[in-house]
A and B are shown apart, each in its own frame.
Chain A
């Protein structure tokens, strides 16, 4: 139905010839008129330029799920995407990831569909109730509890984008969402049976939120998984690794099973202002458990202190009264414990006068900002990269030594995908003399999780090849990158582990932005 020819848009389409086992790129210039979808552009190419271009399509109204592809690194339905809305003269089109390639843009989605074989995708009821030829009753409010989750079209976008799904033990985001859809259905009678398919694998999710973010039907798989973990936690049938973390946080208010009185040991020689001796400061530094207690991460905290001191920021910490913020705990499904932590931290915040909270860790940043009950307090919360970007912009950060390395930036999911802080960290890196900044293939919202979120950093039990961190480091290695910079202690730890697993310590190093900055000041 394209009637008038509009502007020319270049589509660079990744091709695969299965017969010759050859990967190549075809470039087509397609006249795009207003309203023309990406699928219509594919059809235009096939009809007019190149009949061999291979892609799937069917309904062309976003309901059959056939035509998902990657557009400039982001998965979407071709039929539900208008080319002009991409705001570009040139787009890179690739097949979905994490599934075997068949030809051009067509992947074999069988591994994705197979995940559904492990759950029940229909109601499970007693035979007695099924024998009655009558409708069940369901109030509209009860229907609303699962309706949004019933809209999954099985396009496999979430499976393509999911870092945990590279391990086939993981069900796949949409299968968990479908399982949870039935758990929430008031007509369902055998909910207890719905736990067993998840019990040993649901912990692989990192809560990176890619599934929810890219879902064309806005199905919130990510939250479903957290809710399902909550139900499993209630039953008590959780793996030892998870249990240990939860117990440690309950007992010691940190996941490292460290005596809480040692929380400020990292700063013993730094004379930092600390509550309760100090009750007022412009910035309340929320250190976080990893920077405070994990030996590797302590250097990040110490680096921040030296940067803050060098520019004269007035800051203090809660000292030993700072408890785990609870981000990982909430996402492991222990809502009760999370609330206990939050209530304590909030009560301490109430006793302290500050203008903003500064966090080292994107996980603390996210939960203090977005999760109830913290959110209700409407604190001003800043991640340190935001502050550094402000300082860089105002010229307060002056590097005196160059950093002559090829550096990339790995987006922490809880900073990037969940809070859309993408540019500040990059700005800081770009402000450093000599630093050769390159992007990896997957960056910004298309970034690939390190695999450390939602408690997985402590519960990891995947063989090396199935670890997101290993895939991520390999991606950087393939680009000849010398340093992966990041801004999250968990990213740093998991990526560093991956470097060790890959025996690549001589080739690549993992550094927090603060650590790089500090050696240039």
Chain B
């Protein structure tokens, strides 16, 4: 088996991973950096980010205000030291992208333009029309490729993080084109593999964003934090679920029920359509469950009306949305409202990491959506995620570089890698059972949609947990039809299902345990926030019998919890 060594290996090449690579390369030209991704970097899910990236740039806005908006948005579950650090780093990330060539939308006098976004009390979303993540990604990818000490492993699938005595020593991965397994030794690893909302049926997520890195870290012994907090985006296009940016409402779009009412005045009279996402998603589900949704071929939906913005503004500010609505929803938003429904969109939880991106495993760092620094708490504000990927991508790259310079290469034993090769190619690839991977995957996604959605209760969560565990049993009896090693997407589907089944279980188990309602986690049976019992983070640790839950306090610096209204 081939052995590859790099000082730093970054897994995932979305905004966080690429930003980490650039930061590490800027930190030192002497360290060798590998970026390993199961897709070509510009295929990463980050290109789907649309509406903007938050940063305090103008008079009238302030770090305190951005912090407060974020903390309030988080329903007070954010760690406030992390929030305060984060908001101060955002502006320089915007400027860095500007310097590299990001085509930011502009004000009339040529400055970077900023639009309004939900839960933000100042227009601080820097945007490139409605393709912000796409443009950030292409500039980051191009920038990363200017460094001589960054090596890309495109279309390599990572299967495990290898540790010895809680020290990360490397990874196992195979090249998809050849199916050749490699042991990848490193001093430092940065996980930047994104979220796990593919566990749901109706989601804004790319097919490839399956949360692999979260599971790998979990299995290696790092806890996953706050996994019960899943964000449901209020405007997933019906039928496919793809994202219709919150920027559509930032530009003035209305949400309308079957009676033609802008129903948000009942739920958030002040912020209306620009209330945080958890509140709007619940409002929409309430309207639908009380029979005020519109009726369509693909079930009840809510109307997102942009018509009053006019064709020119829609073309200038929301060109992708118009195109997507026409091509995938069959409606032109200039002429008709867009049919939408809440869609699973973002994981507030992830690999538990501190303000330096360090996880509980020495040499293992995490950044972006796969991580949980507790920046977003129980509910993330729009535009804080691309900002997080940039800020903590950079932090993780620098910290990994420091770590790599201060440490020597650990040993990654050949036996470990051979064991993993056996597990994948003699085990999963060779499996010849009765269960179809696609059926199990679809079942999992239906269970999560049906029983661990926006409104939850103990009974349904309990059932979901049982059903997900039954699927895990069935997984032992799968068949992989394609037996070739080369570019085997059937095998990859099985591996991804393996990862997501763990994540579904952790999400449900964490949700079941949290007997309160906070941010995106809403329990019918516990409809109130309970600061006395639950002002704490969930930590899910791997055990053979399923996740073992522990709790850790929230860091509060300046803003004690208050009632959260908009």
- Interface residue ranges of B116-132 to A (CB < 8 Å): 129, 131
Q: Is the CB of B103 within 8 A of A146?
A: yes
Task: List A residues at the B interface (Cβ < 8 Å).
Answer: 1, 3-4, 17-19, 34-35, 37, 46-48, 50-52, 54-66, 80, 82, 102-103, 106, 108-109, 113, 116-117, 120-123, 125, 130, 133-140, 142-143, 146-147, 150-154, 182, 185, 187-188
29 contacts between A and B (CB under 8 A): A1-B201, A1-B241, A3-B299, A18-B487, A35-B240, A37-B240, A46-B489, A51-B438, A54-B488, A56-B43, A58-B39, A58-B43, A59-B48, A59-B207, A60-B206, A60-B207, A80-B327, A102-B486, A103-B484, A120-B146, A121-B145, A122-B139, A123-B99, A135-B94, A135-B95, A140-B110, A146-B103, A154-B42, A154-B138
The one of B42, B177, B202 in contact with A64, judged by C-beta atoms closer than 8 angstroms, is B42
Q: Is B385 interfacial (CB-CB < 8 Å)?
A: no
Binary interface encoding of chain B residues 87-100 relative to chain A, with 1 for a CB under 8 A from any of its CBs, else 0? 00000101100111
Residue of B nearest to A4 (CB): B297
A1-B241, A146-B103, A150-B103 known; A63 vs B95 contact (CB < 8 Å): no
Q: Is the CB of A140 within 8 A of B47?
A: no
A34-B297, A122-B146 known; A54 vs B489 contact (CB < 8 Å): yes
A58-B206, A121-B142, A143-B105 known; A150 vs B135 contact (CB < 8 Å): yes
A381 → chain B, closest Cβ, in Å? Answer: 32
Q: Is the CB of A187 within 8 A of B239?
A: no
Q: Is B330 interfacial (CB-CB < 8 Å)?
A: yes
Q: Is B458 interfacial (CB-CB < 8 Å)?
A: no
Which of A34, A46, A122, A130 has the most B CB atoms < 10 Å from its CB?
Answer: A122
Q: Is the CB of A62 within 8 A of B327?
A: yes
Q: Give complex CA distance A369, B124 in Å.
A: 49
Binary interface encoding of chain B residues 22-54 relative to chain A, with 1 for a CB under 8 A from any of its CBs, else 0? 000000000000000001101111011000000
The one of A18, A113, A122 in contact with B143, judged by C-beta atoms closer than 8 angstroms, is A122
A37-B328, A59-B45 known; A133 vs B95 contact (CB < 8 Å): yes
Q: Give complex CA distance A47, B206 in Å.
A: 17
Q: Give complex CA distance A139, B439 in Å.
A: 53
Q: Is the CB of B437 within 8 A of A51?
A: yes
Q: Give complex CA distance A56, B155 in Å.
A: 11
Q: Is B527 interfacial (CB-CB < 8 Å)?
A: no
Contacts of A64 in B (CB 8 A): 39, 42-45, 47-48, 206
Q: Give complex CA distance A51, B201 in Å.
A: 20
Q: Is B490 interfacial (CB-CB < 8 Å)?
A: yes
Residue of B nearest to A106 (CB): B487
Q: Is the CB of A51 within 8 A of B101?
A: no
Additional pairs, 6, CB under 8 Å, beyond known A57-B207, A140-B107, A147-B129: A1-B202, A54-B487, A57-B208, A61-B328, A121-B145, A137-B111
Q: Is the CB of A103 within 8 A of B487?
A: yes
Q: Is the CB of B39 within 8 A of A61?
A: no
Q: Is B564 interfacial (CB-CB < 8 Å)?
A: no
A19-B486, A35-B330, A151-B131 known; A130 vs B438 contact (CB < 8 Å): no
A64-B48, A102-B177 known; A51 vs B482 contact (CB < 8 Å): yes
B197 → chain A, closest Cβ, in Å? Answer: 13
Contacts of B324 in A (CB 8 A): 61-62
The one of B92, B98, B298 in contact with A136, judged by C-beta atoms closer than 8 angstroms, is B98
Q: Is the CB of A63 within 8 A of B131?
A: yes
Residue of A nearest to B91 (CB): A133
Q: Give complex CA distance A139, B111 in Å.
A: 8
Q: Is the CB of A66 within 8 A of B43?
A: yes
- Give the 7 A-B residue pairs with the shortest CB-CB distance, closest first: A121-B142, A47-B438, A137-B110, A123-B101, A51-B481, A52-B482, A61-B242
Contacts of B475 in A (CB 8 A): none
Q: Is the CB of B142 within 8 A of A122?
A: yes
- Interface residue ranges of B432-460 to A (CB < 8 Å): 436-439, 442
Q: Is the CB of A63 within 8 A of B320?
A: yes
A210 → chain B, closest Cβ, in Å? Answer: 22
B113 → chain A, closest Cβ, in Å? Answer: 9
Contacts of A150 in B (CB 8 A): 103, 135, 138
Q: Is the CB of A63 within 8 A of B134?
A: yes
Q: Is the CB of B131 within 8 A of A52?
A: no
Q: Give complex CA distance A2, B340 in Å.
A: 16
Q: Give complex CA distance A475, B418 in Å.
A: 48
Q: Give complex CA distance A61, B242 in Å.
A: 7
Q: Give complex CA distance A129, B57 in Å.
A: 19
Q: Give complex CA distance A273, B327 in Å.
A: 55
Q: Is B2 interfacial (CB-CB < 8 Å)?
A: no
Q: Give complex CA distance A102, B99 in Å.
A: 38
A61-B324, A122-B139 known; A185 vs B42 contact (CB < 8 Å): no
Q: Give complex CA distance A142, B103 in Å.
A: 10
B132 → chain A, closest Cβ, in Å? Answer: 11
Contacts of B42 in A (CB 8 A): 64-65, 153-154
Contacts of A120 in B (CB 8 A): 142, 146
Residue of A nearest to B57 (CB): A135
Q: Give complex CA distance A61, B142 in Å.
A: 22
- Interface residue ranges of B317-331 to A (CB < 8 Å): 320, 323-324, 327-330
Contacts of B98 in A (CB 8 A): 135-136
Residue of B nearest to A218 (CB): B323
Q: Is the CB of B438 within 8 A of A133?
A: no
Q: Is B243 interfacial (CB-CB < 8 Å)?
A: yes
Q: Give complex CA distance A142, B109 in Å.
A: 11
Q: Is B59 interfacial (CB-CB < 8 Å)?
A: no
Binary interface encoding of chain B residues 308-338 relative to chain A, with 1 for a CB under 8 A from any of its CBs, else 0? 0000000000001001100111100000000
A306 → chain B, closest Cβ, in Å? Answer: 51
Q: Is B106 interfacial (CB-CB < 8 Å)?
A: yes
Q: Is the CB of A58 within 8 A of B207?
A: yes
Q: Is the CB of A63 within 8 A of B145?
A: no
Q: Give complex CA distance A46, B482 in Å.
A: 11
The one of B106, B242, B329 in contact with A140, judged by C-beta atoms closer than 8 angstroms, is B106
Contacts of A59 in B (CB 8 A): 43, 45, 47-48, 206-207, 242
A311 → chain B, closest Cβ, in Å? Answer: 47
A441 → chain B, closest Cβ, in Å? Answer: 25
Q: Is B108 interfacial (CB-CB < 8 Å)?
A: yes
Residue of A nearest to B484 (CB): A19
Q: Is the CB of B101 within 8 A of A182?
A: yes
Q: Give complex CA distance A117, B131 in Å.
A: 24
Q: Give complex CA distance A372, B484 in Å.
A: 57
Q: Is the CB of B207 within 8 A of A62?
A: no
Residue of A nearest to B144 (CB): A122
Q: Is the CB of A130 within 8 A of B45?
A: no
Contacts of B142 in A (CB 8 A): 116, 120-122
The one of A48, A103, A113 in contact with B486, judged by C-beta atoms closer than 8 angstroms, is A103
Q: Is B112 interfacial (CB-CB < 8 Å)?
A: yes
Q: Is the CB of A1 within 8 A of B240?
A: yes
Residue of B nearest to A19 (CB): B484
Q: Give complex CA distance A130, B206 in Å.
A: 35
Q: Is the CB of A133 within 8 A of B297?
A: no
Q: Is the CB of A133 within 8 A of B92?
A: yes
Q: Give complex CA distance A253, B239 in Å.
A: 60
Q: Is the CB of A60 within 8 A of B43?
A: no
Q: Is the CB of B99 within 8 A of A130?
A: yes
Q: Is the CB of A123 within 8 A of B48?
A: no
Q: Give complex CA distance A37, B329 in Å.
A: 11
Contacts of A151 in B (CB 8 A): 131
Contacts of A63 in B (CB 8 A): 47-48, 131, 134, 320
Q: Give complex CA distance A46, B441 in Å.
A: 13
Q: Is the CB of B327 within 8 A of A66?
A: no
B162 → chain A, closest Cβ, in Å? Answer: 27
Q: Give complex CA distance A117, B328 in Å.
A: 34
A158 → chain B, closest Cβ, in Å? Answer: 15
Residue of B nearest to A110 (CB): B154
B183 → chain A, closest Cβ, in Å? Answer: 24
Q: Is the CB of B145 within 8 A of A117?
A: yes
A52-B481, A102-B487 known; A139 vs B110 contact (CB < 8 Å): yes
Q: Give complex CA distance A134, B92 in Å.
A: 8
Contacts of A19 in B (CB 8 A): 484, 486
Residue of A nearest to B152 (CB): A113
